Chain A
Amino acid sequence: MIFDRPDSVELLNAVNHFLNEKIKDEVPPHLAFKLRIVENVLNIVSREMALGEKLSNDVVKDLRELIETDTANIKDLALLIKEEKLDLQNEDLKNLLVKLSKNKITVDNPNYSTLKKLVD
């Protein structure tokens, strides 16, 4: 990257800090609710930029091992399940779906109760 610091994640974190520390207490209740959503959205973007590539590659690697092709992606997996071309009882498939779900929620909402329960 040719850009200076703060990098994109650091910039987002600064915005989030500003919203949380300076704006949150100034807005009426119905906007406070929306402001919380805005903060969540910024956090998703920030986590996706920091972790997204690694979490995606991790799933795609397992997927390609499972179906033994070098180019398969998540859409291909969805189609193979839809057409019942994979054994739905296969433990590796189930494990892959678990990993896919865990990795997605790690970016979208790492505090989500089910993820926390499964990690503990």
Chain B
Amino acid sequence: MNFDDTPQEAAFRAEARAWIAANAPKQYEDELAKSSLGRLVLSGANVLEVAKAWQKKKADAGWACLHWPKEYGGRGSSPIERVIWQQEEGAYGKLGRMFIIGHGMCGPTMMAYAGEAQKREHLPPLASGEKVWCQLFSEPAGGSDVAGLRTRAERDGDDWIVNGQKIWTSGAHYSDYGILITRTDPTVPKHKGLTMFFLDMKSPGVEIKPIRQANGQSEFNEVYFTDVRIPDSQRLGEVGDGWNVSLTTLMNERMSIGASVATGFPELFDYCSSLVVDGRPAIEDRAVRAKLANWAVKASGLKYTAFRSISALSRGERPGPENSIGKLVAGAMIQEVATYALDLQGAAGVVSDPADAEVEGKFQAMLLRSPATRVEGGTDEILRNIIAERVLGLPGDIRVDKDVPFNQIPTRGRA
């Protein structure tokens, strides 16, 4: 049991560190380091442009999508090298946020199901950030129950014609391409009538409307499809096999471990060290310490759980659904942390303007953004089901719609 790099790993780390030191956009390092959930602002710059420039620079030097094969824009690195890179990239890694879905989910799905020419055409610009991808899965009628989606694709010669609506599509407004799951046969049970495609987001008939979130920001969108034509050559997997294709996508999401999940703990610890309450630092108060200690061991537990997964990866094992605990624990925790940070501020905790609020309103922004972390990418409840069923082996819930043709499933709870 050790944390030591092997000689090859140490050499790789040194090379990565030297390259980052020479090339990273240092003028943004402070702001990136200070940014936390709900707020990423780079003064005088457009975050998307800074992020794309950094990604392109990395790609040109062979530091983008490290674990992808070289011919698709990657480096052919081992899982452990990827983790070392993430450790070295540090705060600059936050610039990669808008590429997470493309790199973590769309890319691997394309790699598994697209034709060779399509892969060579689309994957390198995806890796370099020149093209941004989104994932069009969730719908108004299918959130946790994704397979309940209603967006239709109907065959028309060599094309498919798509009509319907997606929702909660992160980054659709700045995406160039998307992977899209549709219903191609409503007369069979819901998991069996689905088909996956990829499409150009500039296709005629695609309309994107940003969703104004409860915290006032807009990271997600509604995407409407009106007679959108997609060539059959852009189908991923067999007709009717879309559910299995989507499982590949979701499985790959779990492979993207190492990207640390935000817990809010380091920010709270720093804040409690500097905040003075009743004439002394808050951190000297036993009640504060008890709270901090509880969160400290959760944050530490997540860190070392990730280390165990990395060890498994480097032994050639595939990480399983046990990685679901990361978001489950961190999502609930960051909300509690933010609530407590405001509590420590007393009435002043209500002020959120960065110009007036404590630590530039960091915890107020966190509080207002945090409800989403417990919902996006699988609700707390779905994650607990996954742990219970796939890790602990408990029986699946009774699914009353499992063998019913999709078009006979009730659509309303109360008439």
Question: Are these two chains actual partners, yes or no?
Answer: no
Residues of A within 8 A of B (CB): none
